[in-house]
Structure 1
C-alpha cells in the first residue's frame, strides 16, 4: 500500500533518509576535510620533522594516491560484503590511520600512516553515495546529492580554517586527532542506522582489472602531482609515471569491455545522460578545483594574511553554495539538471573572472562578493551534474556509477590542480619565483632581493608582490576559460525530469492500490 505521505510528496526526503544521511555526511566531512586541513600544516611539518617542502608535500600526495588506488574497488566491495560492512570497515581504517598519523615520529612514518588513512577515506564517499541513492530512490537523487554536496563543497573552505585554528590553539597532532571523536560517533551511528543485507556473496573481484586500474590511476596521479613540485610537465619524474599510468588505464579500458564483471563497468558510458554528465564533471572538476588552489595562496602570499584569516575570507563562497544547493537539489529531481547547471556555470565564470583584475590592494568587499557569486553557482552545479548521472541508473548500476563518478572526480581534480599550478609557476617573474622558493625565510629573501639588484628590501618586496598579484590574475584568465568550456557539454544535459533508461515502460504498468 502506498502511504499518503509518499504519494503526496514523492520528491521529498523522509525522516529515514535523513537518519542515514547523518552517518554519510559525518564520514564525508572527515574524508574531505583531511584532504585540505593537512595543507595548512605543511610549514609545521617542515619545522617539526626537519624536512623540505617537497618531503612535507608527500603527506598530501600519499593520501591522494591511496584514494585513487582504492576508489575503483568500491563497487566490488559493496556487492561482495555489503555497503554497511564496507562503510564501517572504512571508518575504522580511517580512524586507525588518523591515530597513527598523530603518533608519527618523522616525515616517512607520517606519509606511511597517511596512506593507511587514505585507504579508509577513499571508500567513504563512493560507498556513502551508494547507500544514500538506494535509500532515497532515483527519483529523489537530486535532493540526496544536495545533502552530500555540503561537505564536498565546504571541505576546501573549512579545512584551512579548522587546520589553522587547531595548530594555533593546540598542536599539529590535533589536525588528525580531531577525527577520533567524529569517527567514533559516526561508527556507532552507522551500526544502528545503516541498512544491511545488500551483499552478493558469490561475486569475485576482477583481479586483472585491479592490477591494471588501481596502479594505473596511482601512477598517473603521482606524475600529475609531481608537476606542481617540478613546476613543469616536461620532467622524467612527471611524464614517465603519467605515461605508464595512462598505458595501464588504457589496458584496463580494453579489458573492461571484454570481461563479464569488470572492476569498473565502463559499459555504463552507453547511457547518454551518464556520458554527458561525466564529460561535464571532468571539465568542471579541473576548472573548479584548479582555481580553488589560488584563492588562499593569493590572500597569504600577496596580502600577508594568516592561514586562518585566508580561510575566513573564503567563507562567502560556502555561504553562497549553502543557499542554492538545497533548492537546486530539489528542483533537479523535478525538472532535470540542465537549466541549473548552465546558470551555475555562468555565475562561477563571472565570479572567477572578477579575480583577473586583482592587485596588491584590491578591495576585500569586491573579492568576497565575487566569491559569494561563485558559491551561488557551485551550489547549482556540482551536485546536479552527479545527480543527472546517478538518477538514470538502477540496481547494480548504482554501485558502478557511484564508483565511476568518484574515480573521475578525483582524477580530474588532481589534473586541474597540477595544470593550474604549472601554468602559475611558469608565468611567475624570475624575482617572484626566487622569492616563492625562499618560503618566507627572511635571510633567504634578503639574499634573493640582493641577487636581483634590490638594495632597498622594501622596494624589492613591493615589486615581488605586484608581479605575483599580476600572475595570479593572468592564471585566473585560464581558469575562467576552463569554466566557460564546461558550458559546452553542460548544454546537452537533460532539461526534464530524469528517468532511467528502460524505466519509462515500467512506469506505464498500472499499479493496483490496496
Structure 2
C-alpha cells in the first residue's frame, strides 16, 4: 500500500508543500525576528522600550484575531485565493512597516501585517491537507510542521544578522523576496480550492465574541508584567474570558455555522489533540521566551550569540521531523506523542537547575532533545484530526488547530512572564534561581500534556478510515 500511487508523496506534492510552507515560514518568522530590534526601534522613534513592545504585542493580537476567520474566508472565496491575497497584504504591510514615520504608524501597520499573517498557516495547512489526501497527509505534515518550531530559533538569528549589516527597516524588507516567490509559485504549484457550495453566512455574533475575546484575554495576560495599574490586566482577563464563554454558549445554541464549532472539541480525539497542541505551543514558545532572557541577563551573551546557542533546538526539530515522517503511518499516535512529550520533559528538566550555573554543553544537548520531542508531537496530533475530518470541513478544522497552537504559545508565554516576574521579586539578587523556578512550570505543562495524551488512539488509522 505504501508504495502505491495513491500513497506516494510525489514531486508535485512536495512542490505544493514547499510553496505553502514559504507563507507559514514568513508569518511565523516575522513574529520573532523583530524582537532583537526593540532597542534599535526605541532609538529611532525616541520611545521607551515598554512602548516599543507594542510592535510585537500588536502583531500577536492581530494574529490571534485573524486565525478564527480563516475557515469561513476559505469556504467563501476559495483557499488558494485567500492564501495568495493574505501573502500580498502581508507584503504591503511589510513595506508600510519599513516606511513607518512614527511609533503609532508602525504599530498600526504591524496590526495589518498580523491580520494577514494569521491567515497564512491555517489556510496553507488546509490546502495542503486537501492536496495530500488522508493517505499522505501524515508524512507531509511531519516535514512541514517543523517550520513553526524553527521560527523562535531562527527569528533572533535572522534579526541579529540583518541588524549587523543594515538598518531596522530591513527587518521588514526581508519579507519581500520570500513573499513574491510564494505568490509566483502558488499560481503554478498549488491546486485551486473552489469555494464551498451552499455558502454559509458569516457568523457575525461569533466573530464579535471570539476574536476580540481572545485578543483582550492575551492583552490582559501580557500586560500583567508591564507598568500599568493592576486593574487593567485583571479587567482585561475577566472580560476576555467572559467573551469566550459567551462564544461557546453561542456556538452550541446557534442554528447556523459558528466561526469555530465548539462541538469539535467534544469529538474524540479532537479534545485531547487540542490540549496537546495548546501545551506544545506553551512549552515551545515559553522556553524560547525564557532562555534568551536568561542567557542575556547581565550582558552574558549578545543576541547573536544567544541565537547560536539556541540553534540546536531547530536541529533537533529537523531530526524529529525525519523520524516522524518515517513512522507516522505505522506507529501508534499515542506512542509517538507520548515519546515526544517525554523527550520535551527530559530536555526541560535541566533548566530547573539553572541556579547551579549549567554549562553551555548541557543547554545545547537539552535543546537538541527538546527539539526532537516537539517535532514528534505536532504532526501526529494533526494527522489524527485530519484523518477524521471530511475534505469540506478542512478549512475550519485547520483554523481551529492553528488557533489552539497560537493561543497556547501566546497565553503560555504570558503566564510564564508573570511567574518569572513574581519569582524575580522573591529571589531578588539571584535571577538564575527565578528562572529555574519558572521552568518548573514549563515542565508541568509537559506532564499535563502527557496525561491527556494517554487518551489518544492506540491503533494507527485503520479504524479512522473505516469510520470516515
Bin for the TM-score computed over the shorter chain: over 0.9
1:24-75 residue CA offsets vs partner (Å, 9 max, x unmatched): 1110111000111111111111111111122101001111111111111111
Please say if 1:495 is aligned against 2:438.
no
* TM-score (norm. length: structure 1): 0.87
Gap change, CA 1:495 and 1:6, over 3 Å in 2:
closer
Q: CA deviation at 1:370?
A: 1.2
- Report the Cα distance in structure 1 between the residues aligned to 2:158 and 2:333, rounded to whole angstroms: 33
2:232 match: 237
**Equivalent residues of 1:302, 1:468 under 8 A apart:** no
Query: What's the secondary structure of 2:201's corresponding residue?
Result: coil
2:308 match: 312
Q: CA deviation at 1:229?
A: 2.1
Query: What's the secondary structure of 1:269's corresponding residue?
Result: helix
State the 4+ residue runs in structure 1 displaced beyond 4 angstroms: 429-432
1:212-252 residue CA offsets vs partner (Å, 9 max, x unmatched): 21211111111122123259xx9221121222122222121
**Greater C-alpha Rg:** 1
Higher deviation after alignment, 393-402 or 75-84: 393-402
1:207 match: 204
1:309-352 residue CA offsets vs partner (Å, 9 max, x unmatched): 10010111111111121221342223332111111111111111
- Report the Cα distance in structure 1 between the residues aligned to 2:299 and 2:363, rounded to whole angstroms: 12
**Equivalent residues of 2:127, 2:193 under 8 A apart:** no
1:161 match: 157
Please say if 1:249 is aligned against 2:244.
yes
**Equivalent residues of 1:286, 1:414 under 8 A apart:** yes
2:124 match: 128
1:433-474 residue CA offsets vs partner (Å, 9 max, x unmatched): xxxxxxxxxxxxxxxxxxxxxxxxxxxxxxx4xx11121112
- Report the Cα distance in structure 2 between the residues aligned to 1:203 and 1:195, rounded to whole angstroms: 23
Query: What's the secondary structure of 1:492's corresponding residue?
Result: coil
1:158-195 residue CA offsets vs partner (Å, 9 max, x unmatched): 00000011011111111100000111111111112111
1:102-160 residue CA offsets vs partner (Å, 9 max, x unmatched): 00111111100000101110100000110111111122222122222121110000000
Please say if 1:504 is aligned against 2:463.
no
Higher deviation after alignment, 141-150 or 185-194: 141-150
Higher deviation after alignment, 103-112 or 273-282: 273-282
- Report the Cα distance in structure 2 between the residues aligned to 1:148 and 1:496, rounded to whole angstroms: 24
Please say if 1:269 is aligned against 2:277.
no
1:444 match: none
1:407 match: 403
* TM-score (norm. length: structure 2): 0.95
Query: What's the secondary structure of 1:205's corresponding residue?
Result: coil
Higher deviation after alignment, 467-476 or 308-317: 467-476
- Report the Cα distance in structure 1 between the residues aligned to 2:116 and 2:184, rounded to whole angstroms: 17
- Report the Cα distance in structure 2 between the residues aligned to 1:421 and 1:492, rounded to whole angstroms: 30
**Equivalent residues of 1:429, 1:468 under 8 A apart:** no
- Report the Cα distance in structure 1 between the residues aligned to 2:186 and 2:245, rounded to whole angstroms: 37
- Report the Cα distance in structure 2 between the residues aligned to 1:497 and 1:110, rounded to whole angstroms: 48
Unaligned stretches of 5+ residues in structure 1: 433-463, 507-514
Q: Find 1:293's aligned residue among 267, 289, 307.
A: 289
Please say if 1:395 is aligned against 2:391.
yes
**Equivalent residues of 2:196, 2:392 under 8 A apart:** no
Q: CA deviation at 1:359?
A: 4.1
Unaligned stretches of 5+ residues in structure 2: none
- Report the Cα distance in structure 1 between the residues aligned to 2:389 and 2:193, rounded to whole angstroms: 20
**Matches of residues 18-417 of structure 1 in structure 2 within 5 Å?**
18-200=14-196, 202-230=199-227, 235-257=230-252, 258-302=254-298, 304-359=300-355, 361-417=357-413
- Report the Cα distance in structure 1 between the residues aligned to 2:132 and 2:217, rounded to whole angstroms: 35
Q: CA deviation at 1:389?
A: 2.0
Q: CA deviation at 1:11?
A: 4.1
**Equivalent residues of 1:62, 1:114 under 8 A apart:** yes
Gap change, CA 1:380 and 1:230, over 3 Å in 2:
farther
Q: What root-mean-square deviation, in Å, do the aligned CA atoms of Structure 1 and Structure 2 show? A: 2.0
- Report the Cα distance in structure 2 between the residues aligned to 1:350 and 1:6, rounded to whole angstroms: 33
2:434 match: 471
Query: What's the secondary structure of 1:171's corresponding residue?
Result: coil
Gap change, CA 1:228 and 1:131, over 3 Å in 2:
farther
- Report the Cα distance in structure 2 between the residues aligned to 1:106 and 1:499, rounded to whole angstroms: 57
Q: CA deviation at 1:9?
A: 6.2
Higher deviation after alignment, 124-133 or 196-205: 196-205
Query: What's the secondary structure of 2:226's corresponding residue?
Result: helix
